[in-house]
Structure 1
Amino acid sequence: MPLEQVHEQLHLRHPKRSFVQYRLDKPGFITPIGHHLSTAMRYTCLIRSISSAGAVLSINKTLTLPENFYLEIDGIRDEIPCTEFKREGEEMVVHFNMFLDTDFLNLVLGRRPAGQDA
């Protein structure tokens, strides 16, 4: 998968960090930087897979976006600052401007945070 290219580069700089890629297939929203509070500049996408370092998105191939933007995952109010890494047709690989916290990634994946009983 294309996200592995992001992981290869980051693993050299952060050898102790895990870059496990998870299939997500969840709707999301892209907000270009500079239009943070404007809903008129919010675009839909499908988040195909995600890791602590980045994601693979399906977007409209005719959509023109700046290199940097915010990604919001449907149902989660936090926005993730992203930078485009690679784009081919409808598929865009992004890397996050900072690694996702393990608890946040578990929330995105619908898992219980560590230490919580069923």
Structure 2
Amino acid sequence: MPLEHVHDQLRLRHPKRSFVQYRIDRPGFVTPIGHHLSTAMRYTCLIRSISSAGAVLSINKALTLPENFYLEIHGIRDEIPCTEFKRDGEELVVRFNMFLDADFLDLVLGRTPQDHEA
């Protein structure tokens, strides 16, 4: 999976951090960052997989995006600042501008804290 390329770069700098990739196939929205950080448009996407460091998205291949944008996961109000890492047709690999907090990742995955203690 292409998200592993993002992880390979980050593992060296953050050896104690987990970069487990989770397949979620969940709808989301991409909001480009425009002039003066404006966010006038929003486009739908499908979030194929996610980790604490990035995600793989399926998005319209004809859509032109700036290098930086926000990712919103359907049903979760927070926006995640992203940077494009690699694009191949409809597949877009993004790196998050900061690592996702473990609790937030659990929320995205629909897990409760007890789920990964068992």
TM-score (norm 1): 0.92
SS of alignment partner, residue 47 of structure 2: strand
CA distance in 2, matches of 1:16, 1:100: 15
Runs of 4+ with >2 A deviation? none
Match of 1:98 in 2: 98
CA distance in 2, matches of 1:105, 1:60: 25
Answer whether contact 1:52 1:102 (CA < 8 A) is retained: yes
Residue 35 (structure 1) aligned to one of 38, 46, 56: 38
CA distances 1:9-33 after superposition (whole Å, capped 9, x unpaired) = 0001101100000001000000011
CA distance in 1, matches of 2:109, 2:79: 16
CA distance in 1, matches of 2:113, 2:77: 17
Q: How does 1:22-101 map to 2 (within 5 A)?
A: 22-33=22-33, 34-36=37-39, 38=40, 41-101=41-101
- Quick one: which amino acid aligns to residue 7 of structure 1? H
CA distance in 2, matches of 1:5, 1:108: 22
Aligned residues: 112
CA distances 1:28-87 after superposition (whole Å, capped 9, x unpaired) = 000011333x3xx10000000000000000000000000000000000000000000000
- Quick one: which amino acid aligns to residue 27 of structure 2? P
- For structure 2, the residue ranges without an aligned partner over 5 or more in a row are none
- For structure 1, the residue ranges without an aligned partner over 5 or more in a row are none
TM-score (norm 2): 0.92
The structural deviation recorded for 1:114 is 4.8
The structural deviation recorded for 1:113 is 3.0
- Quick one: which amino acid aligns to residue 47 of structure 1? I
SS of alignment partner, residue 16 of structure 1: coil
CA distance in 2, matches of 1:81, 1:20: 20
Answer whether contact 1:107 1:113 (CA < 8 A) is retained: no
SS of alignment partner, residue 12 of structure 2: helix
